[in-house]
Amino acid sequence: MNDPAAANPLLAPTHVLPDFAAIRPEHVEPAVRDVLAAQRRALVVAEAVAAPTLDWLRDLERINTEINRVWGPVSHLNAVLSSPPLRDAYNRCLPLVTEFSTELGQNEALYRHFGELKEQVTAAQAIERQLVKQALRDFRLGGVTLTGAARQRFREVMQELAARQATFEQNVMDSTDAFEHHETDRAALAGLPELAIERASRLAAERKLEGWLLRLDPPTFQTVMAHAESRVLRRMYYEAWTTRASDQGPHAGKWDNSALIEQILALRHEAAGLVGFRSFAEYSLATKMAESPERVIEFLRDLARRSRPVAEQELAELRAFAGQELEPWDTAFYAERLRQQKLNLAEEELRPYFPLPQVLDGLFSLFGKLFDLKVQEAAAPSVWHPTVRYFELRRRADDSLVGSCYVDLFARPNKRGGAWMDGCLSRAKLNGATQAPVAYLVCNFNAPVGDTPSLLTHSEVVTLFHEFGHGLHHLLTEIDYPSIAGINGVAWDAVELPSQFLENFTWQPEVLSTIARHYQTGAPLPQDKMEMLQRSRKFLAGLAMARQLEFALFDFRLHHEYDPKRGSRVHEILGEVRREVSVIQPPAFNRFANSFGHVFGGGYAAGYYSYKWAEVLAADAFAAFEESGVFDRSTAERFRRAILATGGSRDALDSFVDFRGRKPELDALLRQAGIAARQ
C-alpha cells in the first residue's frame, strides 16, 4: 500500500527545501496533524528520561525544528500568496499548532528536567546555560506553574488570541486589496511619475477598462501622497489607507477590526494576569532588554521632549512653504516639494539611479567587503511565484555554504503589505541532524514594467538593506541550537539592531558609488545629488521621530494601562498620546489602530518601542565604523563575532558591550538625525 505521506510535499525529508509549487490547501491539515502526532510521541520519550543530558537537550530542540518544517511554509504562503482555500486550511490548523505550543510550555516533566539540567551545566558551557535559562523563563511565561482551571483557561486564551490576531491580519489584507480607483481623466493624475501612470494604464488594460486603475498597495499609496497634485485624490487615498479594516472609509464595516482590538487586548491582559503580571506590558518585557514599563515610558518621553520642538519648527516651515494650513494628506506632498526647493532633490528623480539589480549587486558587494562573503544566485528551488529568486551566501576563503535566502520583492494582490525577514530554516547541529540556515526576504516594491527594471526610491533602498540586515543576523549565526540561533532568543528590543545598523550604509558615499547608477546609461549618481541625498537624511527628521514615538507610546500605554472594567480606551489613549508627542493631528475618521498589524497581528505588542530602542543601539554601533572607516574589516569582524554570530546565546546588552566596549548612548541617535544640533 502506498504511504499517504509520500504524496504530501509538506512531509518531504528534512533535508529537502519546501516544494512550494506543489503545496496545496488540502495538504496542510494532514501534514500538520501528522507532524504534531510524531512530536507528541517524541515528547513522551523526552519526559521519561531518568536524568537529562545535553544529548537530551539537543533531541528536544528537534521537536520545534520538525514542526517548523511543516508549519513554516504554510504560514509563509498564507502571507505571500494567500487564497480563500489556503486561508481556511491555515485557520483550521492554527488552533492545533497553538495548542501544541501551549502544551509544551506547560509540560511539568520537561520543566523539572530543565531545572535539573540547570544544575549540571557549567560556566564553561555558556551557550547551554543561556538556552536552559531562557527555556525555564519561557516555561514560566507559558503557565507551567498554573493548575486546574487557571491552566485550562490559559490554554483557551492562547487559542483565542492566535485566532483573533490571524483574523486581524487577514482583514487588513482584504480591505487593502478591495480598494481600487478607476480614473479616466488624465489631468486628475497630474504630478504622478510616468512609471506609476504606465503601471496604472497596464492594470486598467488587463481589466479591459479605459484610462487608469490604481490600487492601494504601499508603493502606489506612497506615490499618490507624495506626488499627486490633486488634493481630492490625495485625500481619497489618505482616507482609504487610514480607514482600512474599520467602521469608516470606502468599505466601512466590511472588515472592521474594532471588536477584534478589544478582544485581543482583553485576552493579552488576561493571559498576563494568569501568570502573575500586572499588565501585558510587564509580561512583554520579560523577554526584552528594558527592565520595566516605567523605563520604556521614560525612554520614549525623553526622546519626545528632545525632538518635539524640532518637529514643531519643521511643521511651521512646511506650512509657511505651502502658504496654507495643512491637512495630513498634504504633508507628504509639500514635504517633497520643500525638499526639492531646499535640497534640489526629488525622491522620484533618484529612481533611475536605483535599479533593483544594481542595488542588489552593491548590497552583496558590501557583504563581501565587510564579512568576506560572496553572494551567488542559485538555481531556484521550488518557489511560490515566478518573480521569487534564490541566493546563497558562501565564504570567499573556501566557498563553503553559510546559508541561503529566498527573495520576494514585488507587491501583488493577496500578499501581506510591508517588508519582513523570516526564517525558513534555522541553523542546527543536533545529534546528527544538521541544517544550514535559510531565510525569506520579503518586500513590496513596484515590479518591472516592460523592459524597465524595478526602480527604487532611496527610502525603498533603505528598506531593502534593513531586511537584509535581519537576514545576516539569521544567516551568520554560529549557534547550533535553533531556539537561540540567529534572531531566535534575542531580546525583542535588540532584534532590530542588525537591520537598522545596515541601513546606515545606504547613506555612505562609498556605498552609494556602487549601488546608485543610472539604469540606462550606467552613469553614477552625480556628486551634487549624492551630497544632497546625505543632507536629506536630516530633512524633517523631527517630524519622522514624532510619528514613530506616537506609534510606540500608544502601543505601550495601551497594553500597560489596560483595565478590563474600562476596556481598551483606544481612541482616548491615542488622542492623549497625539496631544503629547505629535504635531500633526489627524481627522476624526482616521482609524490608524485598525490596521496596526505590527501590534495587533504581529509580534510587536507592547514592543513597538523596540524600533527606537534598537535605533539607539544601531546608531551607536555604526559610530564605531565612522571612527574606523565604513569598510574596516577588523571593526566588521568584531561586529560579526559579538552581534551577528551570537544570536540569543547571551544577553543582548552583553553582546553590545562586547562590541562597543561600553553601554549604548542615546545621544548617538540624536546626533545622527540632526536633532541634537537643533535643540
Catalytic residues: 467
Bridge partners, residue 441, by sequence: 407, 421
What radius of gyration, in Å, describes the C-alpha atoms of the chain? 25
For residue 625, give every residue at least 6 positions away whose Cβ sits within 8 Å of its Cβ, in sequence order, or none: 504, 632, 635, 636
**Grid cell in block for residue 513:** 558609488
With contact defined as beta carbons under 8 Å apart, do 436 and 394 qualify? no
d(CA 472, CA 540): 30
d(CA 448, CA 160): 41
Exposure pattern of 637-647 as b/e (b: 16+ CB <10 Å)? Answer: ebbbebbbbbb
Alpha helices in 591-651 (DSSP H): 597-600, 610-628, 633-639
d(CA 435, CA 454): 33
- Helix, strand, coil percentages in the chain from 3-state DSSP, rounded to 5: 60, 10, 30
d(CA 674, CA 631): 24
With contact defined as beta carbons under 8 Å apart, do 291 and 570 qualify? no
With contact defined as beta carbons under 8 Å apart, do 90 and 96 qualify? no
CA 408 to the chain's CA centroid: 14
Bridge partners, residue 421, by sequence: 441
CB atoms within 10 A of CB 362: 21
Instruction: Identify the CA nearest to 9 among candidates 55, 64, 69, 50.
Output: 69
Strand (E) positions, 313-466?
373-377, 389-395, 401-410, 420-425, 428-430, 433-435, 438-445
Residue corresponding to grid cell 486564551:
157
| CA trace torsion 157, 158, 164, 169 (10° rounding) | 160
d(CA 198, CA 328): 27
| CA trace torsion 10, 464, 546, 666 (10° rounding) | 100
d(CA 413, CA 409): 13
Reported residue count of the chain is: 679
**Grid cell in block for residue 83:** 487564497
For residue 546, give every residue at least 6 positions away whose Cβ sits within 8 Å of its Cβ, in sequence order, or none: 304, 307, 308, 311, 581, 582, 583, 584
